[in-house]
Amino acid sequence: MTLHVVLIDALNLIRRIYAVQERPFLRNNSLAENTKQQVLFNTANACEQALTKILTKLQPSHALAVFDAQAPCWRYEVYPDYKKGRKKMPEHLADKLVDIQDRFMAHHVDSLVSEADEADDLIATLAVKVALRNQNVTIVSTDKCFLSLLNPHIQVYDYFNRRFLDQDYVINKFNVKPDKLLELWTLTGDNTNKIPGVAGIGQVTAAQLLNQYGSIKSILAASDLKQSVRDKLADHDEQITLSRKLLTLKNDIPLGFNLKDIRLPSENALASS
């Protein structure tokens, strides 16, 4: 029988929930010491409620919450400015993660915490492995990087807006199909993660080029390409290679567990793997 594996981008979920709980108590962009514990308590409760709603909505046979490693991932070694300027997780929230993981485990949802890998790569690895077996995966995240994985067996669910981010969403937002997103972001860069693109080529131009020629390689090989565009690409040859490497999700990380290890003990769960 067909399995349905739900992979939760845990820090994407937790940090957004924390921000909502923290906002009413912020004064001068900081949190008073005497309110931190209340905010953390509210966050943990809200995260547990969110998990319950996710499981109820998606009805998975298997589920896993995936966390980023504490140490910087390989992308920082390749490009030290990766995610430069992004606000760090508050230390008091980081200290609360174990409690939140315990709450998830009380609902039979285990947590995967790597020593060195980014959650994005771990989720991509597991999603691709499951999809290759013709089983179904739902990634719960608002991170746009997962949209490049969309296929008949992999879907993305935005918990906060209660909607699936499908191919129509991608086309409406980026004007390319999901399988062209990596090429698109290689050209435009990814400002969220501070990955630069090709100067002078924005999303509209990048989408037009990809829809016409299909790939960056084909764009460069085209005989009718505008010289100004050709020059921009030639001037950023090394940047294109670096950006593509940074933007590409790994899908071959050794995980060290089987699907049966994350099977939910529900009477509605499907046959174990």
Residue 120 annotated as binding site:
yes
- Write the CB contacts of 257 (distance below 8 Å, at least 6 apart in sequence): none
**How far is CA 157 from each of CA 54, 65, 127, 189, rounded to the nearest angstrom?**
9, 14, 14, 24
Q: Is 17 one of the annotated binding-site residues?
A: no
Separation of alpha carbons 255 and 127, rounded Å: 12
Alpha helices in 133-268 (DSSP H): 167-174, 181-188, 203-213, 216-221, 227-235, 237-247
150 among the known binding-site residues? no
| 60 in a labelled binding site | no
204 a known binding residue? no
In DSSP terms, which residues pair with 27 in a beta bridge? 30
14 Cβ partners below 8 Å, 6+ apart?
43, 47, 93, 97, 100
Q: Which residues are documented as binding site? A: 120, 187, 196, 198, 201
Q: Which residues are documented as binding site for Mg(2+)? A: 120
Q: Which residues are documented as binding site for K(+)? A: 187, 196, 198, 201
